[in-house]
Chain A
Amino acid sequence: MILARIIGTVVATRKDPRLEGRKLLLVRPVKLDGSDDSGFLVAVDTVGAGYREQVIVVSGSSARLAHGMKDFPIDAAIVGIVDTVEVDNME
């Protein structure tokens, strides 16, 4: 799982029927200090996350295990909204 920040939404009319009614969000991975990391992901929301919130993103086949996503054609799902991140000294 990675930490990411929601930076936008994705709207799609033509899509797999199983994705109808699901919120697609554009997320950007973030480092532990909250600064942007490289890359972008389109992730399906399962927790009601919103713009600029920091979230936990599950990728790969495990994304299908997220709540209500069984057998969905997805490989990234938002499974939690981050309250706080606490990091010990990296050394």
Chain B
Amino acid sequence: MQLARVVGTVVSTAKNPELIGRKLLIVQTLDAYQKPVGKPFVALDSVGCGVGELVFWCRGKEASFPFPDWDTPTDCTIVGIVDSVFVDDSRKRSL
């Protein structure tokens, strides 16, 4: 799973029937210090989060597990909204 910030939304009318009613969000992966790393992805929402929130998402086949029958075609799903992150600062200094 990856820490990420929700940075936007995607609207799609013509889509797979299993995706109807699902929220598509753009997530930007972050490192432990919440700096953006890598490319943004389109993720499906399973927890009811919104733009600007800090979340974590999972990729791969497991991304479809939060949804009924595990048959939703997604490889990137937001599975949690982050309340707080603690990072040991002594490690940051040594990096």
Instruction: Write out the residue numbers on chain A whose beta carbons fall within 8 Å of the beta carbon of B64.
Output: 62, 65
A90 to B34, CA, bound (A): 12
| CB atoms of A32 and B73 under 8 A apart | no
Q: How many residue pairs between the two chains, A and B, have CB atoms under 8 Å in the bound complex?
A: 107
Q: Mark A57-73, 1 if CB is under 8 A from B, else 0.
A: 01111110111010000
Q: Mark B36-54, 1 if CB is under 8 A from A, else 0.
A: 1001111110000001100
Q: How many residues of B contact A (CB 8 A)?
A: 37
Instruction: Write out the residue numbers on chain A whose beta carbons fall within 8 Å of the beta carbon of B12.
Output: 56, 80-83
Q: How many residues of A contact B (CB 8 A)?
A: 34
Chain B residue, CB-CB nearest to A90: B7
Provide a sorted-by-A list of 13 A–B residue pairs whose CB atoms are within 8 angstroms.
A1-B43, A1-B44, A32-B40, A58-B75, A61-B60, A65-B18, A65-B73, A67-B17, A81-B13, A81-B15, A85-B10, A88-B7, A90-B7
